[in-house]
Structure 1
């Protein structure tokens, strides 16, 4: 459906972005504001936008409220970009409210979009977390792969359910372009996530006996893919990430951070202890990422969008460090010495316990 001109086939594009308070949503809005093909940009959220937006109309609204349909009708948007996906229970005010905002909010939004005849494109931000992390996982997750375990709670369960609502919408409105973008963990100079906070710790807790492969997505590349999905026709599901991987041990050395191995059974307790001081909000179903890692095949997105990310995973991490987000504490050699010392201490404690 390339060439959407507006709700009545004339004029410029009219676009509504949910979760406009978020960093990526704000940056996307700025990029759309600068595009002469766009007549209107609206942003929906319960919080004020974090970016200095000029042309974007901010609408304070709760997606869980059926009145969101009135927002879509009154703004006469032809495109909806759903960016309102919360990964941290703490930022939502608790796990129950997080689930409501993610799942009920998406359900209401899709229901409203279904009834809006002028809507011709829906873009949804999702995550590679839908694949989970398991020791029997494939080396690369393709878009048609399923998680080894059915998620029953937490962020992964929310995302799985949210994607289900989107696919249901796509079946009921086959005339609408539906694009689902499954992003790897975001990193960059301008975004804060559980992953960036974890990588900023002075000592990185790791899972004893494991060195997972990490795949990241630089925010610059994420915004570019979101922009292309919004302005042009790219229906389907796509994995989006920076090319290549980095092992957690390699990341620690680049960061100048020693690691301390923690037995898998104690990992949840350690993150709970760290949370008040660090703000890290890794939930139970996310911890396996630090054990088994997760890597997605991005070849489909590269071919469909005609875009090669500007940053590899290693370069994305290097840019995060260069921006001053993390100040290396020690040299690589010192990291190795500290890791050896901490490993000996943990081994000694484990022997005494056993």
Structure 2
């Protein structure tokens, strides 16, 4: 039973929400929140410690507080939120290594919960309809958050071998969405024009932000161990989602993914990698049997309901005409070039 809980990444949206929720849970005596910057939101009841998990000093924080449960929330999905890809990887990978080293040395830590991502499964045309937790990626993510998540989970498995006395639970979340959270997927569906891979209409699953917090509370206070997929019931396709937010779709050859991502980044509209564009082409499905049976958790929101709740916050697509013109002309030009290249080499699209 969790008594003294340490939550990493408490200055970020989900980490802060979780820490505040845990303070109210019966049986939890202390909640220690760790981050490199102070939280912007009110953290009444949470003992905030300004510390960097990339620094071995995190071991002193754990030992001095007598932490028995660690919830690792500081695996960052969007590089622009932390200043770029390099600091993102350092926080995700080096930070996890140092945190696990501190947990390994601790005489008090008995439970570890890690917020991971379904991005570890990648997205390809050869994927199964539903990934179970025992399956691996048909093609591993080539970079970014997906690759970081695979490395993080690898370090967690190594920690499990060195500390078999510790309960470990890894949560692979589908894309978390809602009216308040901001992610790369919410930025994408806020674009004035939705660039979508030509000839595809991928299936997507979502987890509502409120359900995500509820699931994390259950994971922290419960006894489930292993790896668990989390997603709302049902699926929604890319074109259905674009229709719900009232955005026109601009079909593009999948080969244009890197260009589209570059345009969006330059205009500071969204941050999308080639792996994320593959997700928009091929989608991903998660088997959530363990979520219901092992974790004992059932989301209140379906995937479609979660997306519709997010869509309520999406304003009308009336940005400055110059911005829209840059996006449309740029991606359209790239699409034309990609088509010509494909035709010239005899490849089908």
Distance 2:155 2:57 in 1: 18
Contact 2:256 2:335 in 1 (8 A): no
Contact 1:197 1:278 in 2 (8 A): no
Distance 1:63 1:30 in 2: 20
Distance 1:347 1:271 in 2: 12
Structure 1 pair 329–155 and aligned structure 2 pair: CA distance change class (3 A): closer
Aligned to 2:110: 120
Query: Deviation of residue 256 (structure 1)?
Result: 1.0
Indicate yes or no: 2:241 matched with 1:251.
yes
Query: Deviation of residue 79 (structure 1)?
Result: 0.4
Aligned to 2:23: 33
Aligned to 1:105: 95
1:174-228 C-alpha deviation (Å, 9 max, x unpaired): 1111000000111011100000010111210001111111111101111011001
Aligned to 2:314: 326
1:151-162 alignment, distance < 5 Å:
151-162=141-152
Distance 2:172 2:336 in 1: 41
Contact 2:261 2:274 in 1 (8 A): no
Aligned to 2:293: 303
Distance 1:188 1:348 in 2: 31
Aligned to 2:76: 86
Query: Deviation of residue 295 (structure 1)?
Result: 1.2
1:20-54 C-alpha deviation (Å, 9 max, x unpaired): 11111111111111123111111111122243110
- 191, 199, 206: which one pairs with 2:196? 206
Contact 2:109 2:166 in 1 (8 A): yes
Aligned to 2:326: none
Query: Deviation of residue 72 (structure 1)?
Result: 0.5
Aligned to 2:156: 166
Indicate yes or no: 2:271 matched with 1:281.
yes
Aligned to 1:24: 14
1:109-131 C-alpha deviation (Å, 9 max, x unpaired): 00110111211110000000000
1:42-53 alignment, distance < 5 Å:
42-53=32-43
Query: Deviation of residue 97 (structure 1)?
Result: 2.0
Distance 1:200 1:347 in 2: 21
Query: Deviation of residue 155 (structure 1)?
Result: 1.8
Query: Deviation of residue 91 (structure 1)?
Result: 2.2
Q: Which runs of 5+ in 2 are unaligned?
A: 319-328, 344-349
Indicate yes or no: 2:259 matched with 1:293.
no
Aligned to 1:58: 48
1:277-328 C-alpha deviation (Å, 9 max, x unpaired): 3441112322210111111111111112322210001100111123xx2135
Q: Which runs of 5+ in 1 are unaligned?
A: 5-12, 331-341
- Equivalenced residue count is 329
Distance 1:347 1:224 in 2: 43
TM-score relative to the length of structure 1 = 0.88
Which stretch shows the higher mean deviation, 220-229 or 150-159?
150-159
Contact 1:206 1:260 in 2 (8 A): yes
Aligned to 2:232: 242
TM-score relative to the length of structure 2 = 0.89
CA RMSD of aligned residues (A): 2.1
- Secondary structure class of the residue paired with 1:305: coil
- Secondary structure class of the residue paired with 2:18: helix
Aligned to 2:250: 260
Distance 1:22 1:240 in 2: 20
Query: Deviation of residue 352 (structure 1)?
Result: 7.8
Contact 2:110 2:165 in 1 (8 A): yes
Contact 1:155 1:285 in 2 (8 A): no
1:162-241 alignment, distance < 5 Å:
162-241=152-231
Distance 1:285 1:224 in 2: 29
